């Protein structure tokens, strides 16, 4: 069965620190990969997505992610976080076969000013 695993459940950083959130998935076929962010009390918003092509994708607010097919990974990065990046981050995988969007458990990011 398809699954998505996010390694870090709770990350605490100081402003200007670099961020990397891990995401691994288990599925052998063609997948589309997403990172969503959920700010406190708000709905999910798309940060970035990978469908095909360049495995390094850039999203909004300075976020980027790299798809490494051999490692089944899609890690999220940001060189310098801000206090406003405090939120819940979800990695998600969609298989072209089932059409289902499978989410990871989420990572809570807390940025201290």
Partner 1 sequence: DTAVSQTPKYLVTQMGNDKSIKCEQNLGHDTMYWYKQDSKKFLKIMFSYNNKELIINETVPNRFSPKSPDKAHLNLHINSLELGDSAVYFCASSQGTGSSEQYFGPGTRLTVT
- Residues forming contacts to partner 1 in the complex (CB under 8 A) are 32, 34, 36, 38, 42-46, 49, 51, 88, 90, 94, 96, 98-103, 105-106, 108
Nearer to partner 1, 12 or 16 (CB): 12
Nearer to partner 1, 14 or 45 (CB): 45
Contact 5, 23 (CB under 8 A): yes
7-38 core/surface letters (b: 16 or more CB in 10 A; e: else): ebeebebeeeeebebebbbebeeebebbbbbe
| Least distance CB 80 / partner 1 (angstroms) | 25
| Least distance CB 6 / partner 1 (angstroms) | 11
| Least distance CB 16 / partner 1 (angstroms) | 26
| CA nearest neighbour of 93 among 9, 28, 31 | 31
Let me know how long the chain is.
113
Nearer to partner 1, 33 or 81 (CB): 33
């Amino acid at each position: 069965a398809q699954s998505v695993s996010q390694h870090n459940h709770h990350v605490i950083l100081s402003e200007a620190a670099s961020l990397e959130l891990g995401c691994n998935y288990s599925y052998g076929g063609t997948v589309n990969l997403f990172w969503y962010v959920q700010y406190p009390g708000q709905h999910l918003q798309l940060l970035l997505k990978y469908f095909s092509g360049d495995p390094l994708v850039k999203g909004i607010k300075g976020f980027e992610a790299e798809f490494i097919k051999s490692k089944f990974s899609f890690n999220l990065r940001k060189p310098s976080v801000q206090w406003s990046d405090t939120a819940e981050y979800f990695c998600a995988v969609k298989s072209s076969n089932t059409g289902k969007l499978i989410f990871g458990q989420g990572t809570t990011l807390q940025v201290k000013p």
